[in-house]
Structure 1
């Protein structure tokens, strides 16, 4: 049984991670400023802010973990801010975590970065070939650089999640799955781009597999976590069929652009994201590939298929809807 200190265990990936760790008999401490999404995880939660350096250090030293898994940080893309003003959790928060590790060095550290350290268009030539296309991506470059320069006493591994989906993904629940369940989802009538998605069950399995792997195989390594690249319509149409029982209509791209521009304006006025914006439309029409071959070569194929992941996610989404109506 491992003692595992998780930062950001109340979020989407973190909730699935805490659930899996507990199912494996691990002792878990979730250090997060937000309460858990899953009420059953309350006993493992300690409210805390990674921007509060001494509080983080004291809690980690008292827990004395075997593994540290750092997921906390700001994940949404906001191009109306700067790294310094909007993404301190991904920079100063990481520096605080690395400082805390000096007093309580674990056996292993898993530092969660993002595929966004490299934008779409090409794959990186090596682990430090950075070309972020967003402010969020820039902040995660700093996350990785801080980790590399920390001279940690433990074995550490950086993981770059791709576009992750699955149970407890609240934004997809609100902006995609709800729309698809109502039969309102439409798909752009263009050749489907190829993108790298990842079912969260597979991603958690890969993360824990990297921690369980022999240290020399993963120490100071960078691994993408997710599934093989697929056409985006395999994913989106799969969900639309599972939720509404039919294929969604395909709409000319020019009409989709008009809807997206209206969505941009609605989002600005209401402060809430519309189901289709220019940014979301772009992600539906361009390729974005990330290399997961090294991960699969080390760990083998991930256990869940796309269809199985969709089935589990739809079951969770429907159960959540029933709870909200009750």
Structure 2
């Protein structure tokens, strides 16, 4: 039996991982997070803590004596102006690495990064090639370098980079995506065919968990992209969501018209309206194709638990239960 410390267990991926652990029922675990759980059934596992509060962080870890650590907690966002706004991703990682070094019970740790350590759509040639274009991505590069530079850590560690995660408890952009299709607001852009690697969240938390179970030599000092294979065509994905919801067929708009809408979104955002659903940045992300080699994680974790059609069904069911669609 493992004693698993999950940081960020109140977030999107973290909530799904806590669900996974509850359903499996084999291990002791706690959720260390600055925010309360999204799922009220997880309240008993929550320990409130800021990663920047080192004394409290250290006390919780020392008291729990984890054998395994899944570090998911992070500051996200694209509107921040200073790298210091992402201190949780830098100083927070430093605190975790140092405290875990001093915790003899720890055998293994997973540190979560992001594909945005490089610009959207760029597949790096190796694990240490970095090309961030956002402060968030830059902060995650700093976090990765902190882990790599820590010498002679007494536990096995790995870095994971989740890819375009979607599913129950999703945040932007995929929650808005499902809601837009449900309300007949979504439209195919131009041809609509943009192929990309994506990751259904319940598949992803299984991949994370399997990294805690495999022999250490298969994961130690390695980087894994997390996601589903094969890649998905966004056109097919959107049409499948439409069919599962039973709503009207998705319309198509020419690219030039969508670019005009995105420009309007840029102006509204500059005026302070941050909730407009489409900006030039978001449009570029939608149209950017990227396909990552996911064989390394699939060789470790085994086959996916769910295909994307089943993932869509489970996501719609959850969103209906939560009153989100």
Normalised-by-shorter TM-score class? over 0.9
The offset of 1:268, in angstroms, is 3.9
Partner of 2:322: helix, strand, or coil?
helix
Judge conservation of contact 2:10–2:37 (CA < 8 Å) in 1: yes
2:281 pairs with 1:279: yes
1:6 aligns with 6
Give the unaligned 5+ runs of structure 2.
none
The offset of 1:126, in angstroms, is 1.4
* TM-score, normalisation: structure 2: 0.93
1:39 aligns with 40
Judge conservation of contact 1:57–1:103 (CA < 8 Å) in 2: no
2:313 pairs with 1:311: yes
**Separation in structure 2 between the aligned mates of residue 253 and residue 188 of structure 1, nearest angstrom:** 6
2:101 aligns with 102
2:59 pairs with 1:66: no
The offset of 1:270, in angstroms, is 4.6
Distance 1:238 1:29, change over 3 A: same
1:196 aligns with 197
Residues 16-71 of structure 1, C-alpha deviations (whole Å, 9 max, x = no match): 00111122222111110111110100000011100111111111011000111101
Judge conservation of contact 1:175–1:274 (CA < 8 Å) in 2: no
Judge conservation of contact 1:182–1:244 (CA < 8 Å) in 2: no
**Separation in structure 1 between the aligned mates of residue 284 and residue 174 of structure 2, nearest angstrom:** 20
1:138 aligns with 138
Partner of 2:172: helix, strand, or coil?
helix
The offset of 1:271, in angstroms, is 4.1
Give the unaligned 5+ runs of structure 1.
none
The number of aligned residues is: 321
Residues 110-133 of structure 1, C-alpha deviations (whole Å, 9 max, x = no match): 100111112244422211121223
Partner of 1:321: helix, strand, or coil?
coil
**Separation in structure 2 between the aligned mates of residue 30 and residue 161 of structure 1, nearest angstrom:** 20
**Separation in structure 2 between the aligned mates of residue 318 and residue 300 of structure 1, nearest angstrom:** 30
Aligned Cα root-mean-square deviation (Å)? 1.8
Judge conservation of contact 1:227–1:302 (CA < 8 Å) in 2: yes
Task: Please give the residue correspondences for 1:176-325 in structure 2 after superposition, counting only pairs within 5 Å.
Answer: 176-190=177-191, 192-228=193-229, 229-321=231-323
